Structure 1
Amino acid sequence: MRRLLPYSAAFLAAILFCLVVPHAAAAARGAQEGLDVALATAIPALFPFFVASGLLIRSGAVSVVGKWCAPLIRRVYGLPGEAAGPLVLGLTGGYPIGAQAARELYDAGTLSREEAERLLGFCNNTGPAFLIGVCGAGLCGSVRTGVLLYGIHIAAALLTGLAMTARESSQAMRHASRAPEPLPFSTCLTQSVQQAGRACLSITAFIMLFSMLRRVLEAAGILEHAAVLCTPLLWFLGAPADAAQPLLVGILEMTSGLVLLPEGAGRALLPAMSFVVGFGGLSVLCQTAAAVNGLSLRRLFYGKVLHGLIAAALTMIVQAILPHPTPVFSAALASLPAHPAAGLLFVSISILCVTSSGKKHRNRL
């Protein structure tokens, strides 16, 4: 199998080259659009969190928080308390802040390789600014809907963590975390800014690449034909056929797919949006791969697929318990009742309690 890897890479490179050459104008337009998105949206939003996460880790603040969170994180996920830092940063800062923080804890010796890779499965998530501002207020016309989607996103991430660590968390952790030596603030700041700059450059390159790839696939008609092939699956799931192409675009590049979803997803908009946001898209996976260079991406990939599926399922549950079916773009969506969130919270807590009880039982055995 390993002998075939160089040939498969060469084959994919040749296909990409053959697509770009006849559609050079579309490729250039896509690259320009990606650069505009990166400079206007992604980098200004992510750079402060990259610097802040670096400062928290290098200054030793994450180790202090880890001591407080150790009993809970160890019991629920079987990880050292310091894992709470990347998880919180990932849920508040957006992609790929959590993964970057996990990698830095591994570099500092606070997490072992196996612990860092397990953490990658559920600490890399979308932040509230994107879900509430872009998905809620921007695409759905409702801040309350964005808050609801963010709550579902948090619940799905926590449940994904339970699923990803269920097999190993029954064993007591024997790894003794080694807290990094605190550095002077000036050293922490300069190192954090340098690391943030490198991460932002890498993210910009991947956003440009996948924006270019999307435009090339559209110009070549490949996306349209792939959408036709996906139509039976969408019909089985109860989603309209017009949602196929936006979903495929979202699997490539999250933001572009989310912008296209309202045009054809209909009532399936919120579940489809939850899946795309939870999975993150191949562009985000590549950005994360660059941020965690050296760590295995197997659990990260499985975790993001599972996260997207759980988020979509939870969204459908919330929609099912609404008292009156509401079209996605009706004015009533802006005033979603409060009890769906309460119902979602009840379901999430129930699953967490059942899983935790099962872990305690296995520990006694």
Structure 2
Amino acid sequence: MARTILYAAISILMVAAIIRQPDEAFQASLQGLTIWWNIVFPGLLPFLVLFELIAAFGLIHGIGALLRPLMRGLFKLPGEAALPLLFGWLSGHQAGAEATAALRRDQLVTRREGQRLLALSHMPNPLFMIVVIGAGFLHRPELGLFIALMVWLSALCTAGWISLFSRRRSASHHLNAPQAAVAPRGLMENAADAITTSRDRDGRSFGKVLGDAVSSGVQKLLVVGGFMIFAAVAARLALPLIQFALPSGIAELVLPALLESHIGAYGAAVWQGPGITTAISAAAVAAILAWSGLSALLQSGYAITGTDLKLLPLIGVRLLHALHAAGLALLLWKPAQAALAMLPSRLTGATAAMLQDGAHWQRPSNAYEAVTAVGLPSLWPYALTAVAVLAIMLLLMRAAAPRVPGLKKR
């Protein structure tokens, strides 16, 4: 009852704030929409479609049979967990959450394993870190690479803590784990049997699978866009409430960082103030990306709807990841700068010139200045490349599918 009253009160306050500040609400919604269309939609759609196709063709079970010993040894997870990890690290948190939820619904992971896999696969899009933040926001692609490395390294550190904490709890699972000394031919035959069984169970034609995958991916991304727009509007409208308690430069950064990682990272990248060095700004960006924002957490919560996975443990892991990311960025700043200085200057300069025209770019003062489509680097060119690779993979899967049953009969 109390929760219902609280939600109703927040909704009424949001409506009143929009009526009182319609221009700010409109600009914030445009900001969220622009980021979604230029970054999130092209960065996620190919991976969401690909995962649906991989699941339909039974490749999840085949990959799980091949990677089971490796995943058990590294992360105390079944082999099928390799795909959510791969998709989360290559595409972003939404793809990782969707893949994790799919494995849990199919009972391929236990609840405890699914909870740990959800935390490990919840990662920011690498193209956003390197291309948009490095070359677009900071005009220094090497800084984007540094931030990405800090986020990835801190994720591995966090994964180590999680594995260490859950080692005793998952000790019983090792009794059922397959022996690592299985012959390579046996692994391949087991993978072929798993692929064939799963494919026969699905039974849909290639055209049906492709249509369902595209339809499902677009529908999920529309929900993601709604979350992002809502978070952007909430961050803009709630700004006057915290400006009384925080200094002006901090207030414009805290709310976007808490609510929406893309806008928060944008604010941290252009953060200005006394004592704000490039190292502090990079550490703040890394921490915000590792935290991912309430918008991304709610998106993961939506993805795991219908499963017994919980959102609260994921929030705790995100906080731990953010602390690791900020600490490692500050600790490794000087060694990393020395290493990044060895990169070819022509490479970084060409990347920055290709993505952003620096002569016409003016540094904004905070994250609440609208991100325009002209000033924001887009991932659409990379999405077209991903679609081409996806088409090739589809043709290969289509060509290999008829030969899989033959392996089973051997």
TM over 0.5: yes
**Equivalence for 2:140:** 142
Answer with 263-272 or 181-190: which moved more: 181-190
Matches of residues 287-326 of structure 1 in structure 2 within 5 Å?
287-294=299-306, 295-321=309-335
Aligned-residue RMSD, C-alpha:
2.7
Q: Deviations over 1:259-318 (max 9, x none)?
A: 222232433111101000101111111122112213311221112111111111111111
Aligned-partner Cα distance in 1 for 2:110–2:177:
9
2:243 alignment counterpart:
224
1:335 aligns with one of 341, 345, 360: 341
Whether 2:200 is the aligned partner of 1:200: answer: no
| 1:63 to partner: Cα distance | 2.4
- Report SS of the residue matched to 1:85: helix
What aligned pairs does 1:1-365 form with structure 2 within 5 A after superposition? 3-170=1-168, 171-173=171-173, 181-182=198-199, 183=202, 184-218=205-239, 221-228=240-247, 242-243=249-250, 245-261=252-268, 262-264=270-272, 265-267=276-278, 268-294=280-306, 295-321=309-335, 335=341
1:77 CA drift (Å)? 2.1
Shift of 1:100: 0.9
Identity over aligned pairs, percent: 24
83-92 or 161-170: bigger deviation? 161-170
- Counterpart position of 1:238: none
CA contact (8 A) 1:141 1:334 kept: no
More contact order relative to length (CA 8 Å, sep ≥ 6) = 2
Closer, same or farther in 2 for the Cα pair 1:244/1:271, shift >3 Å?
A: farther
SS at match of 1:111: coil
Secondary structure at the aligned position of 1:225 is classed as coil
Distance in 2, Cα, partners of 1:226 & 1:52: 47
2:302 maps to amino acid: A
**Secondary structure, aligned partner of 1:141:** coil
1:201 match: secondary structure:
helix
Give the letter for the 1:41 counterpart. Answer: I
Unaligned 5+ segments in structure 1 are 229-240, 325-332, 339-365
Separation in 1, partners of 2:318, 2:12: 29
Letter in 2 for 1:246: L
Q: Secondary structure at the match of 2:172?
A: coil
Q: Which stretch has the larger CA shift, 313-322 or 252-261?
A: 313-322
Change (3 A) 1:76 1:244: farther
Cα shift readout 1:241-267 (whole Å, capped 9, x = no counterpart): 835532432221112122222232433
What is the number of equivalent residue pairs in this alignment? 314
User: Which runs of 5 or more residues in structure 2 are unaligned?
Assistant: 179-193, 345-410
**Inter-CA distance 226–176: structure 2 relative to 1 (3 Å threshold):** farther
CA deviation profile, 1:127-177 (whole Å, cap 9, x unmatched): 221111012112222222222222222222222222233332331316789
Q: Cα 1:142–1:28, aligned 2, differ >3 Å: closer, same or farther?
A: closer
Deviation at 1:20, TM superposition (A): 2.5
- Give the stretch that moved more between structures: 144-153 or 43-52: 144-153
Q: Partners of 1:334 and 1:176 in 2: how far apart? A: 42
The answer as to whether partners of 1:47 and 1:196 remain within 8 angstroms in 2 is yes
Asked whether the equivalents of residues 65 and 81 of structure 1 are also in contact (C-alpha less than 8 Å), the reply is: yes
Contact 1:258 / 1:276 at 8 angstroms: preserved in 2? yes
Matched position secondary structure for 1:106 = helix
Q: Structure 2: how far apart are the matches of 1:244 and 1:212? A: 15
Residues 1:25 and 1:113: Cα distance change in structure 2 (over 3 Å): same
Contact 1:23–1:216, Cα closer than 8 Å, also in 2: yes
Query: Relative to structure 2, which stretch is displaced further, 161-170 or 205-214?
Result: 161-170
Residues 41-94 of structure 1 deviation map (CA, whole Å, 9 limit, x = unaligned): 321221111111222223222322223322232123221111111111111011
One-letter identity of the residue aligned with 1:71? P
How far is the alpha carbon of 1:123 from its aligned partner?
0.7
Q: Which amino acid is 1:298 matched to?
A: L
Q: What is the CA–CA distance in structure 1 between the aligned matches of 2:159 and 2:55, rounded to whole Å?
A: 22
Tell me if structure 2 keeps the 8 A contact 1:153–1:311.
Answer: yes
Letter in 2 for 1:312: A
Higher mean C-alpha deviation, range 252-261 or range 306-315:
252-261
1:141–1:172 distance in 2 versus 1, CA, 3 Å: farther
CA distance in 2, matches of 1:195, 1:323: 43
Tell me the TM-score normalised to structure 1 length. 0.78
C-alpha change, 1:175 and 1:54, in structure 2 (3 Å) is: farther
Shift in Å, 1:223: 4.0
- 1:192 CA drift (Å): 1.8
Answer yes or no: is the 8 Å Cα contact 2:271–2:281 preserved in 1: no
